[in-house]
Amino acid sequence: MTRNAAIVGGGHTDWGERDATWKDLAQEAGKATFDDVPDVGPKDIEGLFVGAVQPERFAFQSHVAPLVAELLGVEADSMIARTELACASGQAALRYAWLAIAAGQLDTALVVGVEKMHLPDGHGEEMQTSMSNVVDREFDGVNGLNAPTYFSFLGQRHMHEYGTTQEQLAKVAVKNKSHAANNPYAQFQMDIDVDDVLDSYPIAPPLHLFDCSGVTDGAAGLILMSEEKAREVTDEATYITGSGQSTMAGNSVNNIPSFSAWPQATVAAEQAYEQAGIEDPVRDLDVAEIHDCFSISEIIEYEDLGWVEKGEGGQFIEDGRSELDGDIAVNPRGGLLGCGHPLGATGVSQALEVHKQFTGQVESARQVPDSPETGLIHNLSGSASVHSVMTLGRDPQ
């Protein structure tokens, strides 16, 4: 049995360095989600999927899916799970909810992504140590390979092979942070220019502070329903039209296939495009939320998601093709660079943004023009060894 699944609404907390606890964030997101879909309440939820990366270390709490169910008054009498796939944990939760509905196991599901990354004062070192768990800790983490150093390798190699410039990287940060300036939930709401990026603190060449996403507390939620149920609730549902996921070669950095390309992103995108009937993504996609954890990431993703030839990503941003009025409006919510990156919540927030763009419920300054109807979300995770892609549309396939 295969059925269409639709997003009917969702909600968001403010993102940033919050005094709120992990439980507080889960409750805030849950309340915002149910407030957005008044015809669906906690008692209507049959399945609950919680994206959370390291609550055991960040919040000293495990077994968080039933905890969220209790906090939100959800019984989830058919299915319940926590998903953990590093930075793609939120999209993984969304994917499993979609598959459960498509398989006929559920009619209504709640997806919540939650991350509380800021520890009490004086515990910053513990937070940074915890972050090294998302790579191979024994071989990569203990040798100093953290996210900025790894992505600096990518930046250096891409510049060496294709002539990509620091100014092109900076343009990614300028675009996304400027979008975030019009997003009330974003952590970094600022209008900046290229010089601001290049003058910001150097982190790991060629990356400056403004080329890097932040450490963020935050949560987001979505309600998914079967097509039949969704039509009873709203005439503005967003349908999941395709999904792909791929990993290649291995998890440790010494086994990844390239420092300037992610072939696994290409495979995941092609899987999703085929399911969605997308033949030309530049022509067929209106809006995309992609994983700009560092500015170089977005440039590589332009290429490996099949939008331009290899080496042309820098020119894609320079020509304005990823602006709101460009070929594909990329990261209109501000991306990870502007919103911050609470690991388990990011993929959920991306899907919520595409849904809100479709329904015209975002601030006018960052609304994609001409009523977007097709979209994409993308996440990488770990040492970019796994890539996850999902396509979304106003109409079911």
Q: How confident is the model at residue 5 (pLDDT cuts 50, 70, 90)?
A: very high
pLDDT greater than 80 at residue 128: no
| pLDDT score for 382 | 86
Measure the CA–CA gap between 273 and 207, rounded to whole angstroms: 32
Domain ranges of the chain: 5-121+215-233
Q: How confident is the model at residue 145 (pLDDT cuts 50, 70, 90)?
A: confident
Q: Per-residue pLDDT tens for 72-95?
A: 999 999 999 999 999 999 999 999
Query: What CATH code would you report for 5-121+215-233?
Result: 3.40.47.10
| pLDDT score for 121 | 66
- 126, 60 contact by CB (below 8 A): no
Q: Would strands 47-51 and 79-83 be described as parallel, antiparallel, or unpaired? A: parallel
Measure the CA–CA gap between 18 and 298, rounded to whole angstroms: 27
CA distances for 93 relative to 70, 176, 198, angstroms: 18, 25, 37
| pLDDT score for 249 | 67
Note every long-range contact of 362-369, with CB atoms under 8 Å and residues 24 or more positions apart, other chains counting.
Answer: 362/183, 362/332, 362/333, 363/182, 363/183, 363/184, 365/182, 366/179, 366/182, 366/183, 366/324, 366/332, 366/333, 366/334, 367/324, 367/332, 368/286, 368/287, 368/324, 368/329, 368/332, 369/324, 369/325
Measure the CA–CA gap between 371 and 361, rounded to whole angstroms: 11
pLDDT greater than 90 at residue 335: yes
Q: How many CA atoms lie within 13 A of 127 on its CB side?
A: 18
Centre a 10 Å sphere on the Cβ of residue 47 and count the other Cβ atoms it contains: 23
Among 122, 124, 116, which residue's Cα sits nearest to residue 17? 116
The mean pLDDT value of the chain amounts to: 94
- 181, 189 contact by CB (below 8 A): yes
Among 347, 318, 326, which residue's Cα sits nearest to residue 282? 326
Measure the CA–CA gap between 195 and 185, rounded to whole angstroms: 25
Active-site positions read 87, 341
